[in-house]
Amino acid sequence: MLDSNGFKRKTYDDLLNDMSAKAKELFGADANVSERAFLGILIRIMAWFLSLAWMAIEQVYHAGYRKSAEGTQLDKLLPLAGTTRNLAEYAYGQVTLTGTPNYTVESGFSVGTERDVNFETIENVTLDENGQGTVEIVCTEIGIIGNVAAGAINTIVNPDANVTSVTNLTKTSGGREKETDQEARERADITVEGQGSGTTASVRAELLKIPTVRAAKVIENYSDETDQYGTPFRAIQAFVLGGSDEEVAQAILNKKAGGIKPYGTTYIEIPDISGEPQKVGFTRANEVGLFAKVTLSTDSAFNTDGMEQVKNALVKYIGGADVSGQLYAGLNMNEKVVLAKGMAHVMGVSGVTDVEIRFSTDGQTFVEENINIGVNEVAQINASDIEVLINV
C-alpha cells in the first residue's frame, strides 16, 4: 500500500489472512481454509505468488531513490547527482627487462608473478648497450589482483631467447574493484553538497571524483593572518589522500574561486583555460596507521571465514586494505575513529554476539576509546594489522 508514509509491502501472512477472510465472506463463515483443505491450499498457492509480486513492486518503488536503489538502478540515478560509479580498473606499472643488447622487445611481451598474475608490455622497448630496458606494463586481469609488490614480477610467460630476466623495481598500482553501492551513494552525497564552483565543498567534490583519491578535505583562510596549518590569508589548502599530482592539481584549478591562491606543500604547474601556466598547491594527507585487537563472543552462526569478515568490516568502516588487498576509502580526513561505530560494524557479522575493540597508533599501547584525527590527517587500517581473538 502507498500512502503519506511511503510504500508498505503486503507480506505472505498479510495476503493469506486477507484472502482467507474474503473466502469466508463469500463461501460462508464455516468455509474450511485450513492448510489441508482444498480451498486453503489454493489460497496459500495464490498468496505465495502474490507475495512475490508485492516484493517486486516494493523493489520498483525503492529503485527510484538514490538512498535505496541498487545495482543498475543506482547507476541510472547517479548522473542526477553529477557523478557516475567508479568501475573496476586494471593495474599498471613498470618492469625492467634484461637480455641481448640493442634487442627490441615488442609490445605484448608477457611476464608475471609466481602466483600466475600476468602482465603485458604496452609499448616496444629497445634494450640498451648493457642489455636492459624499462617498459610500461598492464595487468591482464582487472581488479586489485594486479596490485603486486616490488620484485614480485620475475617470470617470463612467453620465453624469448633474447630476454633472460624481468623484475619490477616498484610496486604496480591502480587496480581496483568496481565501486560498491554504498561507496557510490556516499560519494554522490558529497557531490551534491559540492555542486557549483568557487566553494571549498565544490573543490572537495571535484577531488573525490578522481577514482584513486580516497579522502580529501579543503580549508580556507579568510583572516588576515596565516593559519595554524600554514595557509596564507585569502587562500585555500587542500589535503588529499591518493590521486596523481597532475589530477589533483587540475581538479583544484577547475573549481577554485578566481583570485584565490591554492596553497600547499606540493606545487604543480597546470595551464588554465587561456593556456597560461598556473601554480596549483595542495598538501598530501598524513595517514594515521591504526592497529586493532578485537575480542569476540560468537555462536553457531559464526562462519569459518568469520575472522576475515570481522577484519573486513572494520577496514570498510575506517579505510585501508582488506584481507584480499581491496582498498576502501572509509573515514574522511578529520573524522575521528568512533569506538562504538567500529563495534557496530563488527556486530553486523553473522554469529558475533559480543565484541570488544582496542585501538593503537603505534602497535604497542592499545586503548578502548575513540581515536581523534587532525584536520590534515586520515585514519587507515589494514586487515594485516587487526588481531582477532575469540572467547572460548
- Per DSSP, 229 falls in state T
d(CA 17, CA 240): 58
pLDDT at site 350: 92
- pLDDT digits (tens), the chain, 392 positions: 788 888 899 999 999 999 999 999 999 999 999 999 999 999 999 999 999 999 999 999 999 888 889 999 999 998 888 788 888 889 999 999 999 999 999 999 999 998 899 999 999 999 999 999 999 999 999 988 898 888 999 999 989 999 999 999 998 988 888 888 888 888 887 776 666 778 888 898 889 888 788 788 899 998 889 998 899 998 999 999 888 899 999 999 999 988 889 999 999 999 988 888 999 999 998 889 999 999 999 998 999 999 999 999 999 999 888 887 777 778 888 889 999 999 999 999 999 999 999 999 999 999 999 999 988 888 999 999 999 999 87
> Given its phi and psi angles, is residue 251 left (phi above 0), alpha (psi -120 to 50 degrees) or beta?
alpha
pLDDT at site 372: 93
d(CA 305, CA 303): 5
Tell whether pTM > 0.75. no
Go through 364-382 and write b for each residue having 16 or more CB atoms within 10 A of its CB, e for each that does not: eeeeeeebebeebbbbbbb
Find out whether 336 and 374 touch, Cβ atoms under 8 Å. no
Find out whether 379 and 319 touch, Cβ atoms under 8 Å. yes
pLDDT at site 315: 93
Residue 222 grid coordinates:
579568510
Task: Please name the residue ranges forming H helices in the chain.
Answer: 12-27, 38-62, 71-77, 181-193, 200-208, 245-255, 306-318, 339-347
Residue 124 grid coordinates:
616496444
Over residues 59-113, the pLDDT tens digits come to: 999 998 888 899 999 999 988 887 888 888 899 999 999 999 999 999 999 999 9
What is the total residue count of the chain?
A: 392
Find out whether 333 and 378 touch, Cβ atoms under 8 Å. yes
d(CA 369, CA 265): 32
Q: Cell 564552483, residue? A: 197
Three-class SS state of 281: strand
pLDDT at site 140: 95
Nearest residue to 356 (alpha-carbon basis) of 311, 388, 313, 380: 388
